[in-house]
Amino acid sequence: MDELTTAFLDQADHLPPQSAAQTSHGRVIAVRGAVVDVAFDGAALPLIEESLAIIADEGPPIIAEVQAHVDEHTVRALALQSTNGLRRGAPVQASGGPIQVPVGEAMLGRLIDVTGAPGDRGAPLPVHVPRRPIHRPAPPLSSQGAATGIFATGIKVIDLLTPLAQGGKAAMFGGAGVGKTVLVMELIHAMVERYQGISVFAGVGERSREGHEMLLDIRNSGVLPRTVLVYGQMNEPPGARWRVPLTALTVAEYFRDERHQNVLLLMDNVFRFVQAGAEVSGLLGRLPSRVGYQPTLASEVAGLQERIVSVGDVSVTAIEAVYVPADDFTDPAVTTIAAHVDSMVMLSRSMAAQGMYPAIDPIASSSILLDPLVVGAEHAAVATEVRRTIEHYRELQDVISLLGVEELGADDRRMVGRARRLQRFLTQPFAVTEAFTGVPGRSVTVADTLAGCSAILAGDCDTWQESSLYMVGTLEEACAREQASHDTAPAVDGQAPRSTTP
């Protein structure tokens, strides 16, 4: 018997007695792509969000989820797997409850799909692995903990300007090709030694290539034994991509609530969750709302995000990548997701075009933790001055492009030079890109980041070459590069090159 079939038939053992007694049988009466109409003649209709097993002529049963009651005897369900070859009259069995997925220690190091079936060609899951429903309410507000601790990443621009919260939600917003997935992979790599909890990665609408690269990177970094991977790839039906985040969240909630372990939840890409919901809404015949999105956009995003919380002294820290369609940050999906996060990391296409990686916009990015009461007075003051300096430089860019920097006043020229050096100092090489660039990755402490930015703002680096600060870790490394450039500079008019320490 197929593992998925066994899991579904065993699901009644994990349901309350009254639910198990209400299981009923029906038959398929219509198939329209991923939408299946099922008739339950003379039997009680399954509830909304209850799972169904459609017995196909060949292969394992197709798992579907009830989305609407059409009439007294018919329900409309959404299939989470392909319905190719499904015929009318195929028998259907209701489970008596929502989709249940395996959770617990047996899931560590495994890759599963939306229904919990392994996809890594590993050993079958244990027969008695615990299972939990993917639909459950968010913890009550009275039991939720506050997110005030700093989650250090070793990435300078994030730790300085958009600090992440331990037990909070952070989102990386950016268009296509600006480095969202690379940034998420670097965060995973950077937290291998810092973070000792459980990691759950949700790949929502990922390309097969990206999923393969992510799996290899996690294996090579040595964190796979503490990681659960949940994938609903781009080539799967919209129902699978729509429910994959809930599957990953259910696994994370088990470790938080029953194992009392901190969990790092990584999601790439949350926009694909919204996009899948829009596809499902269209398949179900609902009228579209603003910009063609589903009318239930706000409630669907809230239903997912409000479950990502800390309870007591145990935290779930979420880091989410969000695709921005056509670089439009006013898109309804983007603004709806942004309303739920604590730290917003905005990636800029113009900075990526200039080679400023990570291409994080220091002005548009923000965090509720950038407060003197949380990060300290020195950190908040340095971050504010960095933003003010770069913002002033941007205001002068039109003048510079028309007249040249020589036409600016002395104070403005000095500030422009410091802003350009700050922008270059906030770049750094990543460990996950070392194979492509040949440059080893750098991880920088918050103290070193503050020291470097303070020195640049104070004018200690005004005579340095800008290239000395580009793609380095600490200011000491930049100083060594500057010194080396002077040591190798050719002599002028027979004089020895300048060799004093800048």
Q: What is the DSSP string of 268-330?
A: E-HHHHHHHHHHHHHHTTPPP-GGG--TTHHHHHHHHHTT---BTTB-EEEEEEEE-GGG-TT
Give the phi and the psi of residue 470 in degrees, each rounded to 5: -85, 130
Query: How far is Cα 428 from Cα 290, in angstroms, rounded to an integer?
Result: 39
Annotated catalytic residue, options 207, 219, 414, 498: 207
With H, G, I as helix, E, B as strand and everything else as coil, classify residue 184: helix
10 C-beta neighbours (distance < 10 Å), count: 14
Query: How far is Cα 32 from Cα 229, in angstroms, rounded to an integer?
Result: 31
Q: What is the DSSP string of 123-176?
A: PPPPTT--EEES--PPPPGGGBPP--EEE--S-HHHHHHSPEEETSEEEEEE-T
Tell me which amino acid residue 280 is. V
Query: How far is Cα 277 from Cα 483, in angstroms, rounded to an integer?
Result: 56
Give the phi and the psi of residue 97 in degrees, each rounded to 5: -170, 180
Tokens standing for 415? 């500030």
Query: How far is Cα 144 from Cα 304, in angstroms, rounded to an integer?
Result: 16
Burial class (CB in 10 A: 0-12, 13-18, 19+), 284: middle
Tokens standing for 203? 């790949």
Eight-class DSSP state of 365: -
- For the question of residue 180 being annotated catalytic, the response is yes
Q: What is the DSSP string of 44-59?
A: PPPPTT-EEEE--SSS
Query: How far is Cα 409 from Cα 390, in angstroms, rounded to an integer?
Result: 17
Nearest residue to 8 (alpha-carbon basis) of 40, 41, 45, 56: 56
Annotated catalytic residue, options 180, 226, 241, 307: 180
Query: How far is Cα 90 from Cα 88, in angstroms, rounded to an integer?
Result: 6
CA 26 to chain centre: 39
CB 441 within 8 A of CB 487: no
Give the phi and the psi of residue 338 in degrees, each rounded to 5: -60, -25
Annotated catalytic residue, options 50, 65, 186, 206: 206
Tokens standing for 340? 């739920």
Tokens standing for 14? 């994990």
Give the phi and the psi of residue 28 in degrees, each rounded to 5: -75, 130
Q: What is the DSSP string of 475-502?
A: HHHHHHHHHHHHHTSPPBTTBPPP-S--
Catalytic positions: 180, 206-207
